[in-house]
Structure 1
Amino acid sequence: MKIEGNAQKLLTVLPSEVQNGKDNIGEAKGFGDMLKDAVNSVNQRLINAEELSTQLALGEPVDIAKVMTEMSKADISFRLLLQVRNKALSAYEEIMRMQF
């Protein structure tokens, strides 16, 4: 097992600030910011898929495979966002039921 190879794979996933050795602890995004970014990303995917499907419905020259792919990506992204929301809500409810 190569440790160097696995570490290199890990570095491709990490943000560039961590790879460069910068200490951005004070600048780290919070959970709320990450959630907002995710919602905005999913919203943009849904808008793009809707625009492509509208173009297809109007008879404009659009590749039907691209339309279906974008619609599938938007659907999967939306479902994932819903599952994250459900898990976060479930965790919040569980914390609220705890007695101190």
Structure 2
Amino acid sequence: MSSALLSIQADLARIAGDVERLAPAAPVQPAAPVDDGFDAASASQGDGFVAGFKQVLQAVDERDKAASAQVADVDAGRSDDLVGAMLASQQASLSFSMLMQVRNKVVGAFDELIKLQL
């Protein structure tokens, strides 16, 4: 496994830890993963921000796993779709980058809220 994939998996684990830290005291049932990342209909039904963020986190993880599988298939000679594998890899990378930006904004806003309460 490449160092980039290991780095992405480590960052996903760290993000999952951050989501757990920001979660309310009551346990939240994990939502089923979706292909497009965020399902606005389920979020508007009261699932909350944390459940929506977990859903997005799972979708990004699934996209990363699918891209890794495509690259592994090309490496092993089971597939000759190099372009498709590279596109999937770039999509997974962009999804992860966007997730990191959202995570950073949420953590920053959370820190600001903590400062306001002092």
* Superposition TM-score, scaled by structure 2 size: 0.60
AA aligned opposite 2:106: A
Distance 2:84 2:96 in 1: 18
1:73 is the counterpart of 2:97: no
Runs of 4+ in 1 over 3 A off after TM superposition: none
Runs of at least 5 residues in structure 1 that lack an aligned partner in the other structure: 1-13, 18-24
Secondary structure class of the residue paired with 1:61: coil
Tell whether the 8 Å contact from 1:39 to 1:81 is kept in structure 2 after alignment.
Answer: yes
Tell whether the 8 Å contact from 1:52 to 1:62 is kept in structure 2 after alignment.
Answer: no
AA aligned opposite 2:75: A
Give the number of equivalent residue pairs: 78
Runs of at least 5 residues in structure 2 that lack an aligned partner in the other structure: 1-39
Secondary structure class of the residue paired with 1:28: helix
1:33 is the counterpart of 2:70: no
Identity, in percent, stands at 27
Matches for 1:75-90 after TM superposition, within 5 Å? 75-90=93-108
Matches for 1:27-66 after TM superposition, within 5 Å? 27-66=45-84
Tell whether the 8 Å contact from 1:46 to 1:74 is kept in structure 2 after alignment.
Answer: yes
AA aligned opposite 1:66: G
Distance 2:64 2:80 in 1: 17
Distance 2:55 2:70 in 1: 23
AA aligned opposite 1:71: S
Aligned Cα root-mean-square deviation (Å): 1.9
* Superposition TM-score, scaled by structure 1 size: 0.70
